[in-house]
Copies of this chain bind each other. A is one copy, B any other.
Amino acid sequence: MQVWNDYLSQNKQRFLDELLDLLRIPSVSADSKYKNDVARCAEAVKENLLKAGCDKAEICPTEGHPIVYGEKIIDASLPTVLVYGHYDVQPADPLELWHSGPFEPVIKDGKIFARGACDDKGQMFMHVKALEVMVKTNTLACNVKFMIEGEEEVGSSNLGKFLASNVEKLKADIVLVSDTSMISMEHPSLETGLRGLAYMEVEVTGPNRDLHSGVYGGAVANPINILCKMIASLHDENNHITIPGFYDKVDNLSDADRTALNAAPFNQKEYNEDLGVKSEWGEKGYTTLERTGTRPTLDVNGIWGGYIGEGAKTVLPSKANAKISMRLVPHQSSEEISAMFQKHFESIAPDYVQVKVTAHHGGEPVVTPTDSVAYQAAAKAIKESFGKDPIPTRGGGSIPIIALFEKTLGLKTVLMGFGLDNDNIHSPNEKYDVANYYKGIETIPYFHKYFAEMSK
């Protein structure tokens, strides 16, 4: 609508500057040394919500990092949109690979470079600015509630409790989330599903102390060698995961589903070139889009053991550790899979080592219905701002909280993400295109408009 575009163009620079201020706060939730910065960031989000037109905004303490809640209620008879997002970010390391400071945002070639630029400060903040646009132009069509958490990157461990004890306060008709990506500006898309997550940490202990690899080598199990053997055994020659029962609940896609899924524009050659790999890797019998969208995975996210400093040390270490996560697809339960992994990993441990398996956060996979009013409203909003219908896709990432919304609040979710796969989220040089940021702010009001109209 003209009035929106006018307001947006009059405030373009400020909208950008306010986001950059937020990106300057190193709100890394995984690392306790950033605790105060995370708290500072929550405060900033609250202030921005009030500034944008919320009648009320508050910091809700949890056992971990706080949740920011805000609301703008205009008419009880109108539908209510609950906007979910997160203000915490992934750790920035490896720092040496960043071209500019992860928390000193710079704009280069129309891209905002900073940790959190896309995931999720940039995308979350579009909703704050969109609210301002609608409030200041008196065009708000729905009641709006904001729930912006600070623990998404560490498993939203305290959000479930918050939901359960605030069912009334969070009452809404739909959850709207921008924390995913679309194919491209030329091919806008809407995600209709997300993978779940089970994240484990393992420790393999051999001898009770570090040993001299010359004096003991060859006569004592080396925990690093053993851990490598154990990890290697978790995939078979077709890159299927070997954990017994792992695939029991995984749906086999219908030919129709596969055709639809693979209809999305995708070029394997460009994909490989972008990643700098000679060839792709994955579960035999599936395409890349199927592998990332519809198949479960097992990846080692981190491994360490022995001497990793400069030079050479001839040590036969006492311990070796790894962080191993699995992406889950519909019907797989994070808890079940975590238990399966633990049981299996313990069962394959030879008796000359000891293993300890612990579970980090997990999350359930979700599928969002395309026939719902909310999805249709989102599709129409995108058609309005992009000039073409969105392509329904399946995302490979996880937003553990989505399943909880349905379970605890009985709410469906619309995943209206404006990120791009090459935004380097969770990587050095994370970026978010300025154009996508503005496009999001332009699109969101249409969602509220159509959701209100179509809900009548």
Contacts and interface: CB of A to CB of B under 8 A. Distances in A.
Interface of A: 29-32, 90-91, 93-94, 97, 153-155, 181, 195, 197, 199, 201, 206-222, 224-225, 227-229, 231-233, 235, 275-283, 288, 291-292, 295-317, 320-323, 325, 327, 350-353, 360-361, 395-398, 421, 424-429
Contact of A313 (B302, B316, B350): B302
Nearest to A294: B218
Contacts of A199: 312, 314
B279 A352 contact: yes
Number of chain copies forming the complex = 2
29 contacts: A90-B313, A97-B209, A199-B312, A209-B429, A210-B426, A212-B425, A212-B426, A213-B301, A213-B325, A213-B426, A216-B275, A217-B297, A218-B327, A220-B277, A220-B281, A224-B231, A225-B232, A225-B235, A229-B231, A229-B232, A232-B233, A301-B307, A302-B307, A302-B313, A302-B315, A303-B304, A304-B304, A314-B398, A314-B426
Nearest to A227: B228
Best-buried of A225, A305, A428 by chain B (most CB within 10 Å): A225
A424 B292 contact: no
Given A209-B428, A303-B305, A30 B222 contact: no
Contacts of A307: 91, 93, 301-302, 323
A93 B312 CA distance: 13
B424 A214 contact: no
A300 B225 contact: yes
Contacts of A216: 275, 292, 396
Contacts of A398: 214, 314
A77 B222 CA distance: 51
B351 A278 contact: yes
Best-buried of A29, A232, A280 by chain B (most CB within 10 Å): A232
